[in-house]
Amino acid sequence: MSTSGTSGRAITIRRVPREMRVTRRSYLRSLLYNGGRPWHRAATMASTWLAKKKGVIMSVISKTRYIPPTTPIDEQIRILNEYRAQYLIGQTGGLYLLARELLRRGKPFPLRIVAPTGATLMPEMRQTMRDAFGVDPRDLYGAVELGTISWQCRRGNYHLDADRMIVEIVDEQGNPVPTGQTGQVVCTGLFNYTMPLIRYKLLDVASLLPAPCGCKVQFPLMGTVQGRINDFLPTARGDLVSPHYLYHIFDSAGGSPVKEWRIIQHAPNHLTYEYVPEDNFNPKALEIGMNVIRERFGPGTRVDAVRVENVPMTPNGKRTCIVSMMKPGDHSGMRPWDAEAAAGMSQELAAALISR
């Protein structure tokens, strides 16, 4: 299998079927804890293996309908209705866009469980999904190469899959930080026999949390992932802009004028904002948002707003709102392109998170 490469370089991981099964079951466990049952009808945009020969048989047995992430939104909605799905699992960005479209049409689609995965679930994404699907999303934090790392229980806390891996939060020297303190997520898989992953850096920023949750799950807790290190964009001034910031650029404009968007950074002072306009598009609101970006990235920053028909997906079928086109060395010391550079980031990241 290959990782998606959204956190840096894509790598190929060797796995035997037994290891793959353990990984897949890690997803099922979180669904079971959240009230999922085998007889419920599930729709998934995440499990690409279901499209393969063996997966097709499994999808019939497990009442799971696979929707390729490249499926147009109209078609996704048609399938959900036709299949009368009760759960929905999929890439966070894709589920968010689907939720937005359902709300735009004024036709929410109530579900038992919504489990977004693969990207940081921003608060506004959570709210949109809650409104569209009538249920609080159960976020799954994981990585292709490790499976589920932590997942939300009914109380909304993230429990670590502590029987499958050791999760550490480390500082820039790679030393574990105290519980409650923010640092980089590092995982050691306990079921990766073919190609062990030991203290594997995920380029995510999070913290471990104290105390029992109070629910029936006994696994330890971690805080929400505050962002992927690569989603923090550097400015010409030398600081970092949190991805959260970019979700709020229209707050002072009285509503978002765009249906879909992504921001592409070419250089610290050059960005492109691609957008699909809302039906009642307000160019003034767009301009307010663009000025918010210019201000945050510093004087002289060029921000081109480009209207597009749709926001393209990444080659691996993910929808991402933040894209960096900068090459290693473009802004040396700022971009965490490899794990070593990333380890040195946490001071700046902590500053960026606090300044948010």
Which residues of this protein are in contact with Zn ion, per CB under 5 A? 153, 155, 157, 213, 215, 217
Q: How far is the CB of 152 from Zn ion (least distance, A)?
A: 8
Q: How far is the CB of 81 from Zn ion (least distance, A)?
A: 32
Amino acid at 185: V
Q: How far is CA 294 from CA 120, 124, 313, 323, in A?
A: 24, 22, 25, 17
Kind of pairing, strands 258-267 and 87-91?
unpaired
- Pick the closer one to Zn ion by CB: 34 or 62: 34
What DSSP line would sit under 135-201, residue for residue?
S----EEEETTTEEEEEE-TTSPEEE-TTTEEEEEE-TTSPBPPTT--EEEEEEESS--SS---SEE
Asked if 44 and 27 touch (Cβ cutoff 8 Å), the reply is: no
- Pick the closer one to Zn ion by CB: 19 or 161: 161
- Pick the closer one to Zn ion by CB: 180 or 312: 180
Instruction: Name residues whose C-beta falls within 8 Å of residue 244's C-beta, 6 or more positions apart in sequence.
Output: 122, 123, 227, 356
Asked if 85 and 95 touch (Cβ cutoff 8 Å), the reply is: no
Q: How far is the CB of 314 from Zn ion (least distance, A)?
A: 32
Q: How far is the CB of 111 from Zn ion (least distance, A)?
A: 21
- Pick the closer one to Zn ion by CB: 205 or 217: 217
- Pick the closer one to Zn ion by CB: 164 or 319: 164
Largest Cα–Cα distance in the chain?
58
Residue 242, token pair as written in the block? 């949190």
Kind of pairing, strands 208-209 and 221-222?
antiparallel
Q: How far is the CB of 162 from Zn ion (least distance, A)?
A: 13
- Pick the closer one to Zn ion by CB: 119 or 217: 217
- Pick the closer one to Zn ion by CB: 157 or 256: 157
**Quick one: CA torsion of 148, 261, 76, 51, rounded to 10 degrees?**
-50
Q: How far is the CB of 220 from Zn ion (least distance, A)?
A: 10
- Pick the closer one to Zn ion by CB: 88 or 153: 153
- Pick the closer one to Zn ion by CB: 115 or 217: 217
Asked if 176 and 153 touch (Cβ cutoff 8 Å), the reply is: no
Q: How far is the CB of 217 from Zn ion (least distance, A)?
A: 5
Q: How far is the CB of 216 from Zn ion (least distance, A)?
A: 8
What DSSP line would sit under 93-144, residue for residue?
HHHHHHHHHHHHTT-----SEEEEESS---HHHHHHHHHHHSS----EEEET
Q: How far is the CB of 132 from Zn ion (least distance, A)?
A: 24
Q: Is 66 left (phi over 0), alpha (psi -120 to 50) or beta?
A: beta
